[in-house]
Structure 1
Amino acid sequence: MDPLCRADSRRGPSEEGSEPPWARFSAWLECVCVVTFDLELGQALEAVYPQDVKLTEKEVRSTAHASYPDVLYTFPWALGDTQFSFRLRQSVGRGPRGVWFEDSDAYNRDAPVTMQKDQSHLYGYVYFRQVKDDTVKRGYFQKSVVLVSRLPLVRLFQSVLQVIAPEYFKLEPCLEEVCHEIDKWPTPTPGHTLLLPCMGEVIKVIVCICVVFSVIILVYQSLRPAPLVLPSCHEQDFFQCFQSMLVHVQMLWELMLLGEPVVVMAPSPAVCSETVLALVSSVAPLKYCCDFRPYFTIHDSEFKEYTTRTQAPPSVILGVTNPFFLKTFQCWPHVIRLGELKMSVDLPKQLKMKKLAKLKTLDAKPGVYTAYKTFLHKDKALVRRLLKGIQRKRPSEVQSAILRRYLLELTQSFIIPLERYLVSLMPLQRSISPWKTPPPISPFNQEEFIATLEHAGPQLTSVLKGDWLGLYRRFFRSVNFDGWYRLRHREMTQKVESLHLQVICDADLLSWTRDKSEVEIVDLILKLREKLVRKHMHVCEFKLLEKLELSIQSIISSLPQDLQALLHRD
């Protein structure tokens, strides 16, 4: 075993019943980790729960380093507790634990795209504590409790950590007990209210299904004087994350939409991770399909891949804290340097656009360093409204609602023409016959789409002026367009299959078989069974499936006994 991983290797307890061990736990978490600082090894994985979890060597190292704030900011002046999050690439060949993957289709089908389970990455939610401790040779107690999951439910898991981590740091052996509690939680189900007990607390989780964007509300139900309500998406406070970049928020939205490589440099992992997550969620309800790392360190296994100068920077957002990256990322086209700013009406003067050439020294001032020219004209009214809110001390929740609504409507104005054009690519329902393979979906023609914008473009829903056509053409070259189109094409294909199944079920199949040969009838039965299996894999329309099964049985019953026996055996 790698010396970096010092986890207990004993097997977890067996579970009784029909579900495999840790089945419900796996629907929420991959594991719970404890990361400590070892004078000889550095960051080390001290324990993993459940104890039978098998992380790869790469995942162990990445988790250990990403769970520990950069040493330049943690020793000795950053005392106390801090929370942040990271995201790492799953090792090739290692699938999800338990029966998680079997249920992923059901969850992801109902969950908004921004809340779906990630099949290729793991999220880490960290609660780090550093306090003086004379009994430790280093002089400081430094340890992290980490929840590793495939679910991007940042606020939920941060809230869980706020309950369990302080108790664990009191030297209470509670993590195994917490894992058993989580293993009794109901499976995550969008559209349902779930009660999640955790160490005497009960967290009420409501995952709302919404076309435009989703909200998770966490309500603590305990002996506290009043319940604590936490609105959630991907960040603690949307406005808090953007307030130092208000004058550039529209430009940042374009960078996210186009999947441009961006580096966020911040004084702490908490600031950089929340800022990266806020940037990613700024294009909701569109799914951000590029890679993003809320907290990225020089020890990450992809460090060389992302910092090479022999090729253009990849489409990724990196959140970093180490000043070493100032020099490393000078070749990147977009760098956001965060620091302490005075939130006042003169904010635009503090955060003017800066040239990349100025990002060369460790004392580089906070700002956005880029040569990017926006396609759309700046909405000065939004900036004035938010700056006035700062002046009048408007609550951050209200400011967040204003900003999120603005970005949501901006994204919708951009996406609606694309969605409208996609509808025109679908085959007409009257062209779908029960006796033929459904007609294919027409291919996406960029020039044909551009031609539709004159009469059905974003100007119908947005007052913003600018080069919308140029923005669309640039978007077509992005990873986000490719991801969006693949997802929508898959959904349209399933819709065509659903319509085809409906037409088949409405047809009089038995009458059709009366003048057909046995070979043709058997061929029809085999094709219908194939349709039945494929349909069950994609969409659970049980009434149609039951109707189709009855039709198949009626056709089989019309055949000779020997052929019936053969088909029933198959």
Structure 2
Amino acid sequence: MELLETGSRAGRAKHYPASGPALPWDRFSAWLECVCVVTFDLELGQAIEVRVGRARSSGWEGRPQALVYPLDVRLTEKEKTSICYLSFPDSYSGCLGDTQFSFRIRQSVGHKISMNGEEEKYNRDAPVVLQRDQAHYYGFVYFRQVKDSTVKRGYFQKVRIPSKNDKLGTSPLKQSNQENLLPAPMIIPTVNELDLFTCFQPILIHIQMLWELMLLGEPVIVMATSPTVSSDTVLALTSSCITPLRYCCDYRPYFTIHDTEFKEYTTRTQAPPNVVLGVTNPFFIKTFQHWPHIIRIGEVKMSGDLPKQIKVKKLMKLRTLDTKPGIYTSYKTFLHKDKALIKRLLKGIQRKRPSEVQSVIVRRHLLELTQSFIIPLERYVASLMPLQRTITAWKNPPQIRPFIQEEFMKTLEYAGPQLTSVLKGDWVGLYRRFFKSPNFDGWFRMRYQEMCRKLEILHLEVLCEADLLMWVREKSEVEIVDLVLKLREKLIKARVHQLPVREDLLEKLEMYMETIIDSLPDDLQVVLHRH
């Protein structure tokens, strides 16, 4: 069975009619779009399972019914096809028993719904990893494959959550006809609560390089032996490496040759896109030879108490299907390795330190490293904001100063990362490279929007405190009408986008506006009240 989430971890709240109370699923669908059961059909291949409806209340009694809940969920055929293909591990993975992994697909064109005021407010308040992404679906898969002599292929294969009557090692086809279709309580893999230490075990000594690759939004391929390792590693890289900075590039925790973006990502006519792909099919070794960074992770092998660490190798050695595990890249890091961190983690392995504790150490290191990098940028951007005393009620808000890279670079001499980080290296070179990345563009766009919003709030508060009735006495009708229209626009924006302005101030401004309208000639009053 598969859980399909809308947007990033928060999901999307659907727009329902105002009349009548919302049904339980209507509220729940703000977090979960739908639940699907995918099976393997000998004639069709992977397909959403269809059964004859039994419940009269659903209106499906005696009719074929696709096992997608809720029944009225709107998935396009393209989305259904992607879900079916991505729900099954590649045959090369050889997954027997139960397997859990996740994937991410684009929503079809015309299928996206813009955020309303409440959703925008949620995104503003939520941590980066929990903010909603309105352009993608997130799928969480529970796949079962067991031997079954009654099936022509010799195996029972289904993407489903086991019912309460299911037993490990037996085929659900042999279960009782009275099977309870409700899923048994279980934990589905999440996007933000990953065991970072386990994900990074084979590549611990290269964690500095991985952080830089994610910070710069470099194209990366993660080749693993199973979709579980593939998806967990990709999610660890993209959702945890550069927190609290948002990873603004595309990523696919599990990617196959059937993916709708296969041609787009494998073309050699242009440079590889800024995306992290998790794959398991050896076919991709040849297909992605032109990509600059390929991480091949094999089965975790122990060397004494320490997991065997994969080495950095030249891309030219990535030629055959039996290529050994390694990080195939010509990338040279800007910063030196944090040897103290590596030593601490390795000592933790020798002392049998719990994985949860090791993960906390890794997560904290990455967080502090990212903060050391981003604090100088935040400090400089804050200086671009106009002074509050320059904001008046009688003029439009002042402009935010432009971001000038060379001006920022000069601040690094006295307010750079060296104030909070002990790491040495070419920080200036790293910043210059970062400025060319989608992550910088995404970060600055978000900060610029926040500053514009702050200016709007400050200007609105100044307007609320101003004596507008005194001001309009000496103005022409044209100027007064222009003021009324602008005030109305600001009030609507404040309420729709739920700007944090005191309600009593908004009511005061609304009262001023109505008083001003009442002072105008009757014909203008009619026009303004109508519009």
Bigger mean CA deviation after superposition, 33-42 or 454-463: 33-42
2:110 maps to a residue whose letter is G
**Partner of residue 42, structure 1:** 45
Counterpart of 2:125 in structure 1: which amino acid?
D
Q: CA deviation at 1:269?
A: 0.4
CA distance in 2 between counterparts of 1:438 and 1:448 reads 24
Q: 1:320 is matched with which residue?
A: 279
**SS of residue paired to 2:156:** strand
Report the AA paired with residue 214 of structure 2: M
The whole-number CA distance in structure 2 between the counterparts of 1:93 and 1:294 is 24
Residues 1:248 and 2:206 are matched in the alignment: yes
Q: How has the CA–CA distance of structure 1 residues 19 and 461 changed in structure 2, closer, same or farther, with 3 Å as cutoff?
A: same
Cα distance, 1:43–1:162 mapped onto 2, change above 3 Å: closer
Between 104-113 and 62-71, report the one with greater CA deviation.
104-113
2:148 matched to 1:133? yes
State the 1:535 CA deviation: 2.4
**Which deviates the most, 409-418 or 236-245?**
236-245
> Where does 1:451-530 land on structure 2 (aligned, <5 Å)?
451-530=410-489
CA distance in 2, matches of 1:346, 1:392: 9
- Cα distance, 1:560 vs structure 2: 4.8
Deviation string, structure 1 residues 320-361 (Cα, Å, up to 9, x no partner): 001111111111111111112334578597422111122222
**Which deviates the most, 237-246 or 543-552?**
543-552
- Does the C-alpha gap of structure 1 residues 165 and 397 become closer, same or farther in structure 2, counting only changes over 3 Å? farther
Aligned equivalent of 1:91, options 108, 113, 117: 108
Say yes or no: does 1:27 pair with 2:30: yes
Q: Give, as a single letter, the amino acid of the residue that structure 2 aligns with 1:444.
A: F
Alignment match, 1:378: 337
TM-superposed CA distance for 1:542, in Å, is: 4.8
TM-score by length of 2: 0.86
> Could you tell me how far apart the structure 2 residues matched to 1:42 and 1:284 are?
40
Q: CA deviation at 1:54?
A: 2.5
> Does residue 517 of structure 2 align to residue 556 of structure 1?
yes
**In percent, how many aligned pairs have the same letter?**
68
> Is the 1:244–1:343 contact (alpha carbons within 8 Å) kept by the matching residues of 2?
no
Give the 5 Å matches for 1:1-150: 17-19=20-22, 22-46=25-49, 47-74=67-94, 78-96=95-113, 103-145=118-160
- Provide the C-alpha distance between the structure 2 equivalents of 1:555 and 1:164, rounded to a whole number of angstroms: 68
Are the equivalent residues in 1 in contact too, given 2:201–2:307 (CA < 8 A)? no
Contact 2:118 2:498 in 1 (8 A): no
**1:26–1:100: 8 Å Cα contact kept in structure 2?**
no
Q: CA RMSD in A?
A: 2.7
Shift of 1:557: 3.6
Q: Is the 8 A contact 2:163 2:180 kept in 1?
A: no
Contact 2:300 2:308 in 1 (8 A): no
- Any gaps of 5 or more consecutive residues in structure 2? 1-16, 50-66
Task: Describe the SS at the equivalent of 2:104.
Answer: strand
Residues 122-149 of structure 1 show CA distances to partners (whole Å, capped at 9, x for unaligned) of 110000011122222212110113xxxx
Q: Which residue of 2 aligns with 1:211?
A: none
Which residue of structure 2 lines up, in the alignment, with residue 238 of structure 1? 196
> 2: CA distance between counterparts of 1:82 and 1:21?
30
Deviates more, 1:121-130 or 1:325-334: 325-334
Aligned residue identity for 2:289? Q
1:95–1:291 Cα change, 3 Å? same
Query: Residues 342 and 283 of structure 1: is their aligned pair in 2 closer, same or farther, counting only changes over 3 Å?
Result: same
State whether residues 251 and 374 of structure 1, in contact with CA within 8 Å, keep that contact through their aligned partners in structure 2: yes
Deviation at 1:513, TM superposition (A): 1.5
2:267 to 299, 303, 308: 308
> 1:85–1:124: 8 Å Cα contact kept in structure 2?
yes
1:336 counterpart = 2:295 = yes
Give 1:554 shift.
2.8
**Corresponding residue SS for 2:453:** helix
344 and 510 in structure 1: CA distance in 2 versus 1, 3 angstrom threshold: farther
TM-score with structure 1 length normalisation? 0.80
| Contact kept? 1:66, 1:295, Cα under 8 Å | yes
CA shift, 1:303, in A, is 0.6
Structure 1's 104 and 500: CA in aligned 2 closer, same or farther, altered over 3 A? same
SS at 1:131 equivalent:
strand
In 1, the alpha carbon distance for the partners of 2:374 and 2:437 equals 14
The DSSP-based 3-state class of the residue aligned with 2:203 is helix
Asked if the contact 1:235/1:274 (under 8 Å) is kept, the reply is: no
Equivalences for 1:350-389 in 2 at 5 Å?
Answer: 350-389=309-348
CA distance in 2 between counterparts of 1:517 and 1:164 reads 76
User: Using the alignment, how far apart are the partners of 1:345 and 1:466 within structure 2?
Assistant: 33
Amino acid at match of 1:85: S
Letter in 1 for 2:200: F
Structure 1 pair 101–30 and aligned structure 2 pair: CA distance change class (3 A): farther
Correspondence list, 1:163-242, <5 A = 234-242=192-200
| Alpha-carbon displacement from aligned partner over 1:339-394 (angstroms, at most 9, x marks no partner) | 12334578597422111122222222212111100000111111011001001110
Q: 1:556 & 1:306 partners in 2: Cα distance?
A: 58
Tell me how far 1:164 sits from its aligned partner.
Answer: 8.1
Distance 1:266 1:463 in 2: 34
Please list every run of 5 or more consecutive structure 1 residues that lacks an aligned counterpart in the other structure: 1-13, 146-160, 179-198, 204-217, 219-229
Say if 1:362 and 1:566 are closer, same or farther in 2 by CA, change over 3 A. Answer: closer
Q: Shift of residue 242 of structure 1?
A: 0.6
Is 2:442 the partner of 1:425? Answer: no
Aligned twin of 2:12:
none
